Amino acid sequence: MADSTTHPITASPDAKHIEPHEAGTDVGRRDFLLIATGAFAAVGLAAAVWPFIDQMNPDASALALASIDVDISSIEPGQSITVMWRGKPVFIRNRTEAEMNEARDVPVSELRDPLARNANLDPNAPATDANRAAAEREQWLVMVGVCTHLGCVPLGQQGNFGGWFCPCHGSHYDTAGRIRQGPAPQNLDIPVLAFEGDTTLRIG
Amino acid sequence: MQHEDHFPRYAPKSAVGRWFDDRLPATRMLYDSFVAYPIPRNLNYFYTFGGILMFMLATMIVTGVVLAMHYVADADGAFASVEKIMRDVNYGWLLHYVHANGASMFFLAVYIHIFRGLYYGSYKEPREILWILGVIIFLLMMATAFMGYVLPWGQMSLWGAVVITNLFSAIPLVGEAITTWLWGGFAVGDPTLNRFFSLHYLLPFMIAGVVVLHVWALHVVGQTNPTGLEVKSKQDVVPFTPHATIKDAFSLVIFLLVFAWFVFYSPNYLGHADNYQEANPMVTPAHIVPEWYLLPFYAILRAIPSKLGGVIAMFGAIAVLFLVPWLDTSKVRSANFRPLYRQFFWIFVAVCIGLGWLGAQPPEGGYVIAARILTIYYFLHFLVLLPLLGLFETPKPRPASIADAVLETTRGGSAQPAGSAAGPEGRG
């Protein structure tokens, strides 16, 4: 605005010069128009930017890979398999009695992450061995095989606690997949599970 | 100031030249920036790396553009397309090795350039903006190099991408959503590779844009020099051409000898064998390491026994560079006249190299303890030593001018200021 002392629209040719402070209502109206226009432009800009941001989120085909069925009939105690679910490895382990005992003997107060991180349970469920294992089938431990530190795949039956060891940055998990030592902040995640009979496990 | 008219400016010789100059003075700008531009007469070879870096950026863009003509940005085809470039495409092996080793040489040059700035106090008033633009270029270079390393889709490509993108999951509350957004899925996969390719092609041009600002800022405030003194008279300067042009060109030739040695005799020395295995999301390699130029920061990340803390320390190690112009309280620019800072500078160089070595070691036992000690020292250098040294150090007497310093050296009267041929490293 080159000249802010007169109002170009309301000033008639013979109107006398009006100082801004005298034209109180006029200034208020101009402020309102400025703020309203600015707000409208900001909302428009945000609406225009959003598609460019949201296009990077998982697309329909990625979201469609929701669940898989796994045949677990041939996994003996002490054996595990790794399957792929949503592009990530999932560990399915049939645990031995010794592994379960070892995990049960650890008081929850001693754990680095006291929460079960089990998608089938309440988010605040404590990380007891029973809460980590599949419901009513405690020998089955099914976890997303992605280290909660920076996403590497931990190696099974290794490390200081006989569970999993992440070779990238040295995180040790116990026989219930709970973080015990190293930089990882959380226990390994447990996905949504359902047993269909005794031989088929549905993940997701 | 340096850009006074010490040397004759552009004067078009032909009628066509004058006609063009009146309409678009592009030739004038280039002439005044790279021919008549006055530079301190005592610049040593450590000041030639800016030119080398410009050459490297051009090399990376040219080889990259032609590699993109043969590369397939698809999780099923990327690895095979790089092998096709190596075996089937005419001169593909050369273009690929120049591009891959070029990244290492680019970083070698930028680290020499940065340490040169730290040694001679190039970041001090009035060159703060110049320095900050340089740190931004460094950040963009790291992002570009990281995404470029993912493209061949080998085991190190995939798992490097997994580890680095997971850094963002350390952010409280929104971390998970951010990593999913970065990946375009629930793990690093095809969508991730595609967007990294797009951004890897884009970022070098953004670097080129910031380089223009960097050179612009340099030509406003003028170059520093080994004495750290400002240019005071015409006796202190020589014209850019032929002096800097020839010196930069000679330095570039030596640099290219080293570059060519890697490309032709040891093209995989700086790489990692695991990256010749195709990416497998079910198996992590036994030992994930980034390329050598990112190892010091990787060592800092692993030294902190907390996820968020490690990420903050790693980004902090770069962010602290932005503050260097204000953390260094000494009014004396050049370490040649700062007896204490000079010693701490070399300790700092050793610490950075040590962190780099530790970054390549497995994350266990004594290596972790050593990395912690060096990480603490890294931050101590910037946050404690730089501010305190300026207060307690007694600088050595400085010559009256750049010309005086040069004459002193040639007369052999005092061994004090660095001459035009020998840098401090050359003597020590």
The tens digit of pLDDT for each residue in B330-349 reads 999 999 999 999 999 999 99
The per-residue pLDDT for A17 is 60
* Average pLDDT score over residue span B33-60: 96
CB contact under 8 A, B282 and A58: no
Closest-CA residue in chain A for B166?
Answer: A150
CB contact under 8 A, B165 and A56: no
pLDDT category at B60 given cuts 50, 70, 90 is: very high
Closest residue to B162, CB basis, from A56, A151, A170: A151
The per-residue pLDDT for A168 is 81
pLDDT category at B412 given cuts 50, 70, 90 is: low
* Average pLDDT taken over every residue of chain A: 85
CB contact under 8 A, B184 and A58: yes
Q: Are B168 and B174 in contact (CB under 8 A)?
A: no
Cα torsion B356, B360, B362, B368 to 10°: value is 0
pLDDT category at B423 given cuts 50, 70, 90 is: very low
Closest-CA residue in chain A for B177?
Answer: A57
Contact of B239 with chain A, judged by CB distance below 8 Å, is answered with no
Q: Where are the beta strands (DSSP E) in B6-50?
A: 38-40
- In the beta sheet, which residues pair with residue A141? A93
**Residue B278 pLDDT more than 80?**
yes
A-chain residues near B169 (CB < 8 A)? 150-151
Amino acid at B216: W
Residue B322 in 3-state DSSP?
helix
Q: Which range, of B42-56, B233-247, B280-294, B316-330, averages the lowest pLDDT? A: B280-294
Interface test with B, best of A91, A155, A166, A168 (most B CBs within 10 A): A168
Closest residue to B282, CB basis, from A86, A89, A166: A89
> Which residues, 6 or more positions from A147, have their beta carbon under 8 angstroms from its beta carbon?
A153, A154, A166, A168, A169, A171, A184, A188
pLDDT category at B425 given cuts 50, 70, 90 is: very low
* Average pLDDT score over residue span B392-421: 74
Contact of B180 with chain A, judged by CB distance below 8 Å, is answered with yes
Model pLDDT for residues B138-161, shown as the tens digit of each residue:
999 999 999 999 999 999 999 999
CB contact under 8 A, B181 and A152: no
**Residue B1 pLDDT more than 80?**
no
How much helix, strand and coil, in percent to the nearest 5, is found in chain A? Answer: 25, 25, 50
* Average pLDDT score over residue span B154-182: 91
Count of Cβ atoms closer than 10 Å to residue B414 Cβ: 11
Q: CA B322 to CA B317: how far, in whole Å?
A: 10
How many beta-carbon pairs under 8 angstroms link A with B?
95
The per-residue pLDDT for A177 is 92
The per-residue pLDDT for A55 is 94
Q: CA A52 to CA B259: how far, in whole Å?
A: 40
Residues of B numbered 185-204 whose beta carbons fall under 8 angstroms of chain A's beta carbons: which are they?
185-189, 191, 195
CB contact under 8 A, A184 and B307: yes
Count of Cβ atoms closer than 10 Å to residue B136 Cβ: 16
A-chain residues near B159 (CB < 8 A)? 152, 168
Complex-level ipTM? 0.77
- In the beta sheet, which residues pair with residue A68? A203
Spot the catalytic one: A7, A21, A149, A169. A169
Residue A88 in 3-state DSSP?
strand
Closest residue to B282, CB basis, from A62, A84, A151: A84
* Average pLDDT score over residue span B251-261: 98
The per-residue pLDDT for B416 is 46
The per-residue pLDDT for B426 is 36
**Order of strands across the sheet that contains A193-196:** A68-71, A200-203, A193-196
pLDDT category at B294 given cuts 50, 70, 90 is: very high
Contact of A203 with chain B, judged by CB distance below 8 Å, is answered with no
Q: CA B56 to CA B111: how far, in whole Å?
A: 13
The per-residue pLDDT for B420 is 42
Q: Are A89 and A147 in contact (CB under 8 A)?
A: no
B-chain residues near A57 (CB < 8 A)? 180-181, 184
Q: Which range, of B76-90, B162-176, B202-216, averages the lowest pLDDT? A: B162-176
CB contact under 8 A, A58 and B185: yes
pLDDT over 90 percentage in chain B: 82
The per-residue pLDDT for A65 is 72
* Average pLDDT score over residue span B372-397: 96
**Could you say which residues of chain A have pLDDT below 70?**
1-25
Closest-CA residue in chain A for B185?
Answer: A58
Active site residue A21: no
Q: DSSP for A26-60? A: HHHHHHHHHHHHHHHHHHHHHHHHHHHHHTTS--H
The per-residue pLDDT for B62 is 98
Task: Measure in Å the smallest separation between the Cα of A86 and chain B Cα atoms.
Answer: 6
pLDDT category at B94 given cuts 50, 70, 90 is: very high
